[in-house]
Amino acid sequence: MNYNNLLISIEDHIGTITINRPKKLNALNKETISELHEAFKSLASNDEVKAIILTGAGEKAFVAGADISEFANFSVEQGEELSRVGHESLFTFVEKIEKPILAAVNGFALGGGLELAMSCHIRVFSSHARVGLPEVSLGVIPGYGGTQRLAQIVGRGKAIEMIATAGMIDAEHALHINLANHVVSPDELMDETRKMASKIIKNSSTAIAAALRCVQDCFDKNTDGFETEIKEFGKAFGTPDFKEGTTAFLEKRKPKFQ
């Protein structure tokens, strides 16, 4: 598929999606959201791909938010629809992908940009990145999962502070509150993110997918995550990767996972 707003590459089993609207600071318009859905779906179902990196084109922004020019005149119904479609097609969709998704946050991640980074499983920040949820300064609230995922990641008090002040924090601050997993220099961002992805994909993809399902269920109010873990743990014993991993350990060699 050809994308107007994305660049896609696959190298060494790592798929990379680059949001490519640098003149608009990679703001998420409707077309970009729809293309991101297709790109994630395609990489998630591609057996060659074991991990996915998401980043933004240019040095200035990861994503500067939802495209304000598209929703400035929306009605109540259109606002709700915008949020619902976004949740289903992109933000929750990405979070539930059973391959590790790493956000390489290369600059501003504001509003929907930070919400997208928070839908990813791991966040590596460039030291010059600045992030925040400025929605209340526009008279609206975060509508792509920001009120939920920020509270899950940094805790209720810090989340409410960030949302209510609408302010930006720098990368070091984000690291301090566990919003960033790591902070690296801008020059090293993609290499370091790829290094982490490479380290992850040496392990069993089947086991990683099961672990992601368990962590996901930790935050699903209708599911007992401990029960999911017990079941997934048991299921692992029936997988070729478990046989290979344990045999390789006992034979003092590196495992060759499927």
The whole-angstrom separation of Cα 219 and Cα 56 is: 28
* Interface segment toward ligand COA; rule CB under 6 A; list 7-15, 65-73, 154-162, 184-192: 65-73
| Residue 257 touches ligand COA, criterion: CB under 6 A | no
Residue type, 129: A
| Residue 110 touches ligand COA, criterion: CB under 6 A | yes
Which one of residues 36, 57, 66, 208 is an interface residue with ligand COA (CB under 6 A)?
66
Residue-by-residue DSSP string for 45-100: T-TT--EEEEEESSSSEEE--B-HHHHTT--HHHHHHHHHHHIIIIIHHHHT-SS-
Alpha-carbon dihedral sign for residues 171, 176, 180, 186: positive
| Residue 62 touches ligand COA, criterion: CB under 6 A | no
Distance of CA 182 to the CA centre of its chain: 14
Which one of residues 7, 10, 68, 230 is an interface residue with ligand COA (CB under 6 A)?
68
Whether 98 is catalytic is: no
Whether 135 is catalytic is: yes
* Nearer of residues 100 and 142 to ligand COA, judged by Cβ: 142
Q: Strand order in 182-184's β-sheet? A: 6-11, 14-19, 51-56, 101-105, 122-126, 182-184
| Residue 135 touches ligand COA, criterion: CB under 6 A | yes
Which one of residues 40, 62, 91, 108 is an interface residue with ligand COA (CB under 6 A)?
108
Which one of residues 134, 145, 146, 245 is an interface residue with ligand COA (CB under 6 A)?
134
Which one of residues 35, 67, 115, 241 is an interface residue with ligand COA (CB under 6 A)?
67
Contact yes or no for 255/248 (Cβ under 8 A)? yes
Exactly one of 11, 31, 81, 115 is catalytic; which is it?
115
The whole-angstrom separation of Cα 192 and Cα 102 is: 11
* Nearer of residues 7 and 136 to ligand COA, judged by Cβ: 136
Token pair in block for residue 76: 């109540």
The whole-angstrom separation of Cα 30 and Cα 70 is: 8
Tell me, residue by residue from 13 to 32, as one string, x for binding to ligand COA by CB under 6 A and - for no binding: -----------xx-x-----
Site residues for ligand COA per CB under 6 A: 24-25, 27, 64-69, 108, 110-111, 134-135, 138
Active site residues: 115, 135
